[in-house]
Amino acid sequence: MLIESDRHRAEDSVVWRVFAEADCEHSRTAQFLRHAADAKRQIIGFHKRPKPYYVGCSWGKDSVVLLHLFLGLGYSPRVVYVRQLDNENPESLRVRDAFLSRFDVPDYEEIAYSYADAEPDWFAPDGRPIKWYRVLNDLRLRYGVHVTGVRADESSTRMLRYQRFGCETRASFAPFRFFRVADIFAYMSMFDLPIHPNYAMVGGGRWDRNRIRVTSIGNREGTGHGRAEWEREYYGDVLARIESRGG
């Protein structure tokens, strides 16, 4: 269920219908069913080894699927949404509201932080913000293992992570070792889960849906693969507000 946005264009809607049909078809494949079954086995095995943990949720595609898997297995995990208030994606809260209106998540928490009054040591020497990592460390100390929806097919670094550690490390658990991006969209199609509007903002097919992210707008990190240009095209108004306040 794509959350519609006034940022969508007519050509985006045409392309999305093609995507939606392909996602539905993929959800019927044996490959998808194997990958989904493996993710469930990993989560069941993890849950059987008692430990404090929380599920991190950004309301992007991977975390929505991750949370739905936990709920579908009958678990009620602590769920944490970390909000970066300076340049929060305005569409993410609509996905949150759509999901929470349909599914009971009794142990839900939002943590907000801002770079507006940042100390110098919030940034690495290359200018990359590091406050995010401090937030994650604080969460680990408070709540335990971070359950994340990262996938092996996202990057060579994450593939190496799975090859070296498997699904679980001392600080994190990532059950999507076999899930591919096509499987994620197929799962959302199968269960009609709310889909972030960003994934349909593809410029009529000029932008790769699989590389679109839902994180904060205008971050200094993560501008590769045309992300900065994509943000300028679809979130120019948000960028203008950020730039007007010197953010």
- Mean per-residue pLDDT over the chain, rounded: 88
- List pLDDT tens digits, range 141-181: 899 999 999 888 877 777 777 778 878 888 899 999 899 99
**Confidence class for position 1, pLDDT limits 50, 70, 90:** very high
DSSP letter at 78 equals: E
Dist. CA 37–CA 46, nearest whole Å: 14
**120: pLDDT strictly greater than 80:** no
- List pLDDT tens digits, range 211-233: 898 988 877 655 667 888 999 99
Domains of the chain in sequence order? 10-216 (3.40.50.620)
**Confidence class for position 139, pLDDT limits 50, 70, 90:** confident
Percentage of residues in the chain with pLDDT exceeding 70?
89
Residue ranges with strand state E in the chain? 53-56, 78-84, 108-113, 145-147, 172-173
pTM: 0.89
Phi, psi (deg, nearest 5) at residue 45: -65, -40
- List pLDDT tens digits, range 45-93: 999 988 999 999 999 999 999 999 999 999 999 999 988 877 889 899 9
Q: Are 90 and 236 spatial neighbours (Cβ–Cβ below 8 Å)?
A: no
Percentage of residues in the chain with pLDDT exceeding 90?
61
Burial of 37 (0-12, 13-18, 19+ CB in 10 A): exposed
